[in-house]
Structure 1
Amino acid sequence: MLLKEIKDIFHKELGEIYPKEEIDSFFYSCIEHYLKLERFILAIQPGITLTKEEEQPLFKALSELKLEKPLQYILGTAYFMDLELQVDKNVLIPRPETEELVQWILLDAERSRSVISTSLNDLSLQILDIGTGSGCIAIALAKHLPNAKVFALDVSEGALNMARKNAVSNGVDITFFHEDILNTQLEHNFDIIVSNPPYVRELEKSEIQKNVKEFEPETALFVPDEDPLVFYRAIIDFAEKHLSEKGTLYFEINQYLGEETKALFDARNFSEIELRKDMFGNDRMLKAIKK
């Protein structure tokens, strides 16, 4: 079959679900992934023909896209801060908002570097990523802060297996722990603690797109309506004991609970508490420094 005919089938089958530009992106991502063909191939070779064997993975991907399964899970690959990561049903797909959180940490590290007149390559930090999932935060920090000692924990062994693979494939050394932050026995002190814990309330499920709600791991997404900040309280408790003096705690947060999350630091041993918006203008990140 002609490749351009398969592209037409993608648009015909998916046109009622996705906008045209997104279908184009799906199609070209699939031919890049499965056939190693550049996106401009149809412009220079409009008559290119595929064998039945070459067609098969494209039509399999199409059938899964019709079910609104995320493309990243279909291809098994996602990208985060120029890193290629493996993803599956055990881990959340990395989001651009989380990249902003990592960039904030790196910017603060650069400022600290300037104060002590050293390079980022030589900046020695003990960093913990709580609820690491795919490992995206921990791996990005390890890549950009090569002299840091990075630790990561998750309650899901499936997520940890994926994070370990991603650490190896991206050439970084991370110490992983299979721990539940609500009941952790971890004894170690850190200069930076970062977390993107579950924070979507059950009452917000109606706002969540089908491709997220039906395919991404519920335990990494949702919290009970009656106690939506349960993980934040536990992490603040942990940080009070295990964050070094002047150490920094960074959170990704629920956009609807910014002030409530910030208020958790009242009467706690933290200062310089800062709530920051993401690229979409939503309360999304929070930072606090241990006194």
Structure 2
Amino acid sequence: MQLKQIKDIFHSELDAIYTKEEVDHFFYWVIEHYLGLERFVLVLNPLVSVSREEEQPLFEALAGLKQEKPIQYILGSTHFMDMEFAVNGSVLIPRPETEELLRWILEDVKADGLDGEDLNIIDVGTGSGCIAVVLAKELPQAAVYGIDVSSEALSVAGQNAGRHEVKVSLMEMDIASVPDDLVQFDIIVSNPPYVRYSEKESMRKNVKDYEPALALFVKDDDPLYFYKKILDFTRDNLKPGGRLYFEINQYLAEETKQLLQQHNFSEIELRKDSFGNYRMLKAIKPRN
């Protein structure tokens, strides 16, 4: 079958669910992943054909997309910070705002001349390991740790650390019950669960039906639960002058900031993402 015909089938089956631009993106992503073909292939050769064997994974991907399964889970990978990461249904799909948070951390570290230092860094709720792996890659002198309650997530994080040939110390651990003998950290970073269950109905099916609820949702009556537990952890495990970076719920930005003020953190800064929403927060632990 001609590749152009398959593209037309993608549109006929998916345009009622997604925008035309999204369907184009899915199609080109799929042919690049399975066939190694660049997106301009149809411009150079409009009549290019593929074999029945080559068609099969394309139509399997189409079937998943019709069920609104995330394309990243269908392909088993995603791009993040110009790197490729394995993902599956046990981990969140890395988002652009998490890239922005990472760039903020790296900018701060390099601006302060700490990129060559032996920093201790921990990623709380590491999931796919995308944050920890990028930090280990960009800051090779640092000792990077990643903790998560999910053994399945840690397995994915381990794959990604191996893929990018970095050392990340991964531990299955609940932030609410961390052992006392953990090292002290210079940087703690976390993208914890922060979506209230009341917000679930407004979310797209590809998120609420496929991404792990454990990593997404919190009870409406205590939406800052995980931030509180991480702040308890900072009491003994973040060095004086150490930095704390959070990804946050844009609807709870001020409440999260006030929580850090209550714990006597200083230099608290909220930052907007590229869409103009407050999605990131940085704070410094007092030195006395």
TM range (shorter): over 0.9
Report what 1:278 is aligned to: 273
Aligned equivalent of 2:70 = 70
Q: Which residue identity is paired with 2:268?
A: I
Match of 1:52 in 2: 52
- Please report how far the alpha carbon of residue 43 of structure 1 lies from its aligned counterpart in structure 2 after TM superposition: 1.5
Q: The residue matched to 1:220 in structure 2 has which SS?
A: helix
Pair 1:238 & 2:233 matched: yes
CA shift for structure 1 position 277: 1.2
**Please, which of 145, 148, 167 is the counterpart of residue 173 of structure 1?**
167
* Preserved contact between residue 277 and residue 283 of structure 1 (Cα < 8 Å): yes
Q: Equivalents in 1 of 2:229, 2:252: separation in Å?
A: 16
CA contact under 8 A between 1:73 and 1:88: conserved in structure 2? Answer: yes
The residue number in structure 1 matching 2:249 is 254
1:265 is paired with a residue of what secondary structure? helix
Q: CA deviation at 1:267?
A: 3.7
Partner SS, residue 94 of structure 1:
coil
Separation in structure 2 between the aligned mates of residue 2 and residue 276 of structure 1, nearest angstrom: 48
In structure 1, give the amino acid aligned to 2:131.
I
SS of the equivalent of 2:147 reads strand
* CA deviation string 1:141-197 (max 9, x = no partner): 111111111001000000000000000001110001100112222522000000000
Which 5+ residue runs of structure 1 have no aligned equivalent? none
Pick aligned residue for 1:151 from 145, 153, 157: 145
Q: 1:240 touches 1:269 (CA, 8 Å); kept in 2? A: no
Q: 1:275 aligns to what SS in structure 2?
A: strand
Alignment partner of 1:103 is 2:103: yes
Pick which of 44-53 and 94-103 moved more.
44-53
Counterpart code for 1:220: A
1:241-274 C-alpha deviation (Å, 9 max, x unpaired): 1101100011000100011111112342421111
Q: Is residue 2:39 matched to residue 1:35? A: no
Structure 2: distance between partners of 1:19 and 1:285: 29
Q: Does 1:131 align with 2:139?
A: no
Q: Distance in 1 between matches of 2:15 and 2:242?
A: 50
CA distance in 2, matches of 1:248, 1:135: 20
Partner residue in 1 for 2:263:
268
Partner residue in 1 for 2:178: 184
Query: TM-score scaled to structure 1, two decimals?
Result: 0.96
- Quote how far apart the aligned CAs of 1:132 are: 0.3
Whole-Å separation in 2 of the counterparts to 1:274 and 1:159: 30
Percentage identity across paired residues of the two chains: 59
- Of 167, 182, 201 in structure 1, the residue corresponding to residue 196 of structure 2 is 201
Mapped to 1, the partners of 2:262 and 2:30 lie a distance apart of 52
CA deviation after TM superposition for structure 1 residue 10, in Å: 0.5
Aligned residues: 285
The equivalent residue for 2:88 is 88
Give 1:218-229 correspondences, 5 Å limit: 218-229=213-224
Is the contact between residue 202 and residue 225 of structure 1 (CA under 8 Å) also seen in structure 2?
yes
Alignment partners' CA distance in 2, 1:268 and 1:2? 62
Picking from 115, 136, 141, the partner of 1:142 is 136
Distance 1:144 1:44 in 2: 38
TM-score (norm 2): 0.97
Unaligned stretches of 5+ residues in structure 2: none
- Cα distance in 1 for partners of 2:141, 2:128 equals 22
Q: Distance in 1 between matches of 2:139 and 2:83?
A: 14
Residue of structure 2 equivalent to 1:290: 285
Write the deviation string for residues 173-224 of structure 1: whole angstroms up to 9, x where unpaired.
0001100112222522000000000000001012211100000000000000
Amino acid at match of 1:141: L
Q: Aligned equivalents of 1:148 and 1:3: distance in 2?
A: 47
Q: Is the 8 A contact 1:126 1:191 kept in 2?
A: yes
Residues in 2 aligned to 1:168 and 1:227: alpha-carbon distance in whole angstroms: 37
Query: Residue 264 of structure 1 aligns to a residue in which SS?
Result: helix
SS in 1 for 2:179: coil
